[in-house]
Amino acid sequence: MAETEQVHDNSSNEEEESLEPETSRSHRRFKASNMAFVEMVEMVDILKRTDYDGKHGPYLNPNVRKAKIMTKVVKSLQKNFGVRRSKDQLRKWWSDLKLREHDQYRRIRRVLQKSK
């Protein structure tokens, strides 16, 4: 009986040492790293082609539509560049590009126009 108590005590000590909370799969956090220019070009290309901002018509359930488009961007970036980005990170970068990074956004648009 004393041996089982010792084993139990040891396992509780190990649990106390690891203080990192386990996150569920849906709440994973991806390390925020700088986005490469080619990744931004890919993201902008998809978002412009699919009319992410909804400029070309009223859409039913615009938030659901935007979530699906952003999922497509996440999958494309992972497939083409091997990087995992969360939808929230990509939404923030898209917003920053449009509102704050005007020069960068213009460069990306020029690259996309030349590629067509």
* Residue 86 near residue 30 (C-beta atoms within 8 A): yes
Residue that is written with structure tokens 């009319």 in the block: 51
The pLDDT, as a whole number, for residue 77 is 96
pLDDT given at position 39: 95
Say how far apart CA 14 and CA 12 lie, in whole Å: 5
Mean pLDDT of each 10-residue bin along the chain, 116 residues long: 53 47 58 86 96 91 95 96 93 94 95 91
pLDDT value for 33:
80
Alpha helices (H) along 50-86? 62-81
SS3 breakdown of the chain: % helix, strand, coil, rounded to 5?
A: 70, 0, 30
The predicted structure's pLDDT at residue 94: 96
DSSP code at position 23 = P
Radius of gyration of the chain (CA): 22
Write the CA distances from 31 to 26, 28, 45, 74, integer angstroms: 15, 10, 24, 14
Specify the 3-state DSSP secondary structure of 61: coil
Pairwise CA distance, residues 41 & 111, whole Å: 8
> How far is the C-alpha of 80 from the C-alpha of 42, rounded, in Å?
9
Query: What is the predicted pLDDT for the residue at 116?
Result: 79
Extract the tokens encoding 50.
Answer: 């699919």
